[in-house]
Structure 1
Amino acid sequence: SIIAVHGLGSNPDWAWRHEQTGAMWLRDFLPQSFPQARIMAFDHSSAWSMDAPVKSVEVCGEQLLHVLNTRRDTAEEMKRPIIFIGHSFGGIIIKKVRPLKFLCLLSRARRPEQKSMLGAIFLGVPHDGSRLTSVGKLISYTTYWLGSSTQLLESLQPGDESLRELNISFLQGY
């Protein structure tokens, strides 16, 4: 299985789509290279500038685990290796899956990602945070009346201790 996780303020419909041609990488090209793979896009609500959900990175990670738990139900599906592809904030969510497995947050005793996670491909992931967070927060503060939220942006502060700990935890999981 190949599971793609989009970035902050994005959605899978256009995160993986070429702007000029409309070709969707996950649908139009990846299956040609991996015809046996089950290719999925994890859709998480990550708007921050308007109508933003109030949730944390932990909640996003739990949602991804829940999807894994419900979509990989048979013994055969459980055996399939998973390769995650994360763009920007999506990579942070993927890294969150590793430590969450140890907290037993799944509703069932089994943990599909534990034995199945083969690897992760990170595309433009702000592993150490992003200086652009301050710009996003400024925009969010000035558009609060549109339902903006800084909660997800806060998790991408440069030098954030929880990001550092997440990096260490993820690397130790391999």
Structure 2
Amino acid sequence: MGQESSVPRLNREQVRPVTSDDIGLKVLREATPEAAQSPDIVAIHGIGAHPDDSWCKNVGTKEIPRRVNWLEEEDMLPGVVPSARIMRYGYESKWFGEGAIQQRASRVAQRLLLALKRERKEYSFRPLIFIAHCFGGLVVLKALLDARQVPDEWPGIYTSTTGLIFFGTPFRGAGGMSQIEMLDAARREYEAEEVQPDVLKILEPGNEFLQDLVDQFGKTRTEANKTMVACFYELKSSNVGKIVGKEDRIVSLGKESAFHQN
């Protein structure tokens, strides 16, 4: 969803597999020892993406790649928040091709909450900032709403969240290329058992779960001490058709999909 228009057609050889070591909460940089109140920053990727590659750019060549991860590079995010603990959360998000898996935002959100509860046990009320890409932003909303509803089960997660940064999250659905077209494109290249359509349903404009999720979160914006929210949307279109192996089909997640605060 948030990839540039130069993304090539995907095939089985090009997709970087997600292993068990990639799943879950991974600490990329520890907080400085004296900074008990320094923030935890958690990055969450979108669908069809590797948990690490979403935050990387290849500064090498196709033959000899060298990935630069802006969550880890000293002169990038760590340079802006040097005392913060920086983590990224990974989940299986491949919805087409070999190893495709059924996935739902609510399931990923629950696993994210469990991982955060374990990792933040010593400092449950340390400030928390989420950075989310595409579908990952919907996972964050669901996790925060669940944590708000049962605060004793998820101590500090909702009340300590001070910042939300969304990259191309389709709060009003991803227009331009419909779910049916995406599925049709994938099914042209892969076997029926290699395509899992459930994860795409939430991205359809007008999806009931999506609308309810955004509406519920919108109601929390009237509370005191509101979390700061920043939404970034695309100015360059993406060739979504090529991502699933079809002919060119240009899509852009513009500002109309961004979350508007009250």
TM-score (norm 2): 0.60
1:121 aligns with 2:165: yes
Q: C-alpha separation between the residues in 1 aligned to 2:217 and 2:160? A: 15
Q: C-alpha separation between the residues in 1 aligned to 2:218 and 2:191? A: 37
Structure 1 residue 166: Cα displacement: 0.8
Which of 118, 121, 126 is matched with 1:73 structurally?
121
Structure 2 match to 1:53? 101
Deviates more, 1:110-119 or 1:63-72: 110-119
Which of 87, 99, 118 is matched with 1:40 structurally?
87
Which of 164, 170, 173 is matched with 2:211 structurally?
164
Q: How big is each residue's C-alpha offset from its partner over 1:39-91, in whole Å with a ceiling of 9 and x where there is no partner?
A: 001101111012222231110111111111111111xx212111101111111
Higher radius of gyration, 1 or 2? 2
Whether the 8 Å contact between 2:113 and 2:154 is mirrored in structure 1 is: no
Structure 2 match to 1:87? 133
Q: C-alpha separation between the residues in 2 aligned to 1:110 and 1:125? A: 24
Whether the 8 Å contact between 2:148 and 2:158 is mirrored in structure 1 is: no
Whether the 8 Å contact between 1:140 and 1:149 is mirrored in structure 2 is: no
- What pairs with 1:14-25 in structure 2 (closer than 5 Å)? 14-20=53-59, 22-25=67-70
Q: C-alpha separation between the residues in 2 aligned to 1:67 and 1:49? A: 26
- What pairs with 1:97-108 in structure 2 (closer than 5 Å)? 97-104=143-150
Q: C-alpha separation between the residues in 1 aligned to 2:114 and 2:158? A: 13
Structure 1 residue 135: Cα displacement: 3.1
Q: C-alpha separation between the residues in 1 aligned to 2:191 and 2:199? A: 14
Percent identity of equivalent pairs? 29
Which blocks of at least 5 consecutive residues in structure 2 are unaligned?
A: 1-39, 61-66, 222-262
Q: Secondary structure of the equivalent of 2:159?
A: helix
Q: How big is each residue's C-alpha offset from its partner over 1:20-47, in whole Å with a ceiling of 9 and x where there is no partner?
A: 3521110011111101111001101111
More helix by share: 1
Structure 1 residue 173: Cα displacement: 2.3
Q: C-alpha separation between the residues in 1 aligned to 2:191 and 2:112? A: 28
Structure 1 residue 102: Cα displacement: 4.4
If asked which structure has higher relative contact order (CA below 8 Å, sep 6+), I would say 1
Whether the 8 Å contact between 1:130 and 1:157 is mirrored in structure 2 is: yes
Structure 1 residue 110: Cα displacement: 4.2
Structure 2 match to 1:139? 185
Q: C-alpha separation between the residues in 2 aligned to 1:166 and 1:20? A: 38
Q: C-alpha separation between the residues in 1 aligned to 2:137 and 2:204? A: 15
Q: Secondary structure of the equivalent of 2:116?
A: helix
Alignment: residue pair count = 170
1:30 aligns with 2:77: yes
Q: C-alpha separation between the residues in 1 aligned to 2:96 and 2:185? A: 7
In angstroms, what is the RMSD of aligned CA positions? 1.9
